[in-house]
Amino acid sequence: MRLEIGNIFIKDVEFGPETKVKEGVLYVNKQELMSFIGGDERLKSINIDIAKPGEETRILPVKDVIEPRVKVEGSGGIFPGFISKVDMVGQGRTNVLKGAAVVTTGKIVGFQEGIIDMSGEGAKYTPFSKTFNIVISCEPQDGVKQHEHEEAVRMVGFKAAAFLGMAGKDVKPDEVKVFETLPLGEQVKKYPALPKVVYIYMLQSQGLLHDTYVYGVDAKKILPTFVYPTEVFDGAIVSGNCVSACDKNPTYVHQNHPIIEDLYSKDGKDYNFLGCIITNENVYLADKERSSNYTAKLAEFIGADAAIVSEEGFGNPDADLVMNCNKLEAKGIKTVLVTDEYAGRDGSSQSLADSTSKGDAVVTAGNANELVNLPPMKKVIGYPEVANVIAGGFSGALHDDGSITAELQVITGSTSEVGFDNLSAKGF
């Protein structure tokens, strides 16, 4: 498949009488957007704010972050299985409002939600302090169950991103990036002298409120599957989970997957990038065994010489990560793992809940238990008291002056296990 991504660089977002992009500014007709995303009886109210880089604004609890996009050529549409029909995506042309993002918030859905600070110390740790955020606050009706609340907020976010993306449909992109993966047999023959690399893409799927969707299907219901990498860029995979903010993959991260983009950048130079195997993270041992067995079988079947494996979440999924590593290595497939650490606030505890001697090539995204002090903000969109209960927070995390002391775990995207973050390592 060959996909063109047309990036339209957004330099500002403003409310206006018409939803459009003009000279790099996204203007949003607030009432039209409200009308487009409204109507879900499970929601009591919806409100829309704008949060810009550098402002003294805090958003919490953050549910999801989504990039506005629109399909302009080729099959399928935006968010297949949710907004569009379940047609294959990953080919043609998709225009992107690069620099804009939809952020969903409101009453907390599950305790594993996060914080985005648009300035100050917290802004250093989240990539979404640099985006122009259209923040949608959704308040549920009394008595709505958590999984229904999550679904309602998720759909509002997707609808908003689709609505805003339409503003870029007839706009000439500032740049066009091209990504292409041939059918497997042709891809293998294209670079016969180079090592063949596959990306093992672990999707969070540990149960209720720990969901990721593939073409609208809950990933816990799938067997590991081989997909074109371009399908990922084109919205085939979306977030529906409430796992810890630091290392969950918001929908925006799936749409802009850095591991896949990096693999494409050296395809045909250092290696032959065959594509992606998506697999799930399960709760029970038998399911973990089934998925890891199937993942290793697929990697062997397509003839991979090496694999990169990334995790989403921590604790229980560490076992899935290790199983994938052991079984790939047992088949002679050289494996690199990408994860983060929960090593205690002083960094001296065991980093992962499981380990293996075969995991001798590991990239860490940082220690999510490290404490950070977040200064007070002039504006808070959402509920500041949530800082006392979300994962990484604790009773007393929120101080009287509005500042917060908590673990990095509370910051959206701070230790991204696919590398969509700002942390790095420095040698001494």
Active-site residues, by number, are 242
Whole-number Å distance between alpha carbons of 311 and 202 = 5
Go through 343-380 and write b for each residue having 16 or more CB atoms within 10 A of its CB, e for each that does not: beeeeeeebbebeeeebeebebbbbbbbebebebbeee
SS3 59: strand
Residue type (1 letter), 27: Y
Q: Which residues is 176 bridged to in the sheet?
A: 6
Q: What contacts 326, CB < 8 A, 6 or more positions away? A: 292, 356, 358
Q: Crossing angle, helix 316-330 and helix 285-301, to 10 degrees?
A: 40
Which of 243, 153, 239, 175 minimizes the C-alpha distance to 206?
Answer: 243
Buried b / exposed e across 413-427, counting CB within 10 Å, b at 16+? bbbbbbbbbbbeeee
102 closest CA partner among 167, 41, 50, 27: 50
Contacts of 218 (CB under 8 A, 6+ apart): 205, 211, 212, 240
Cα-trace Rg, the chain: 21
DSSP structure class, residue 287: H
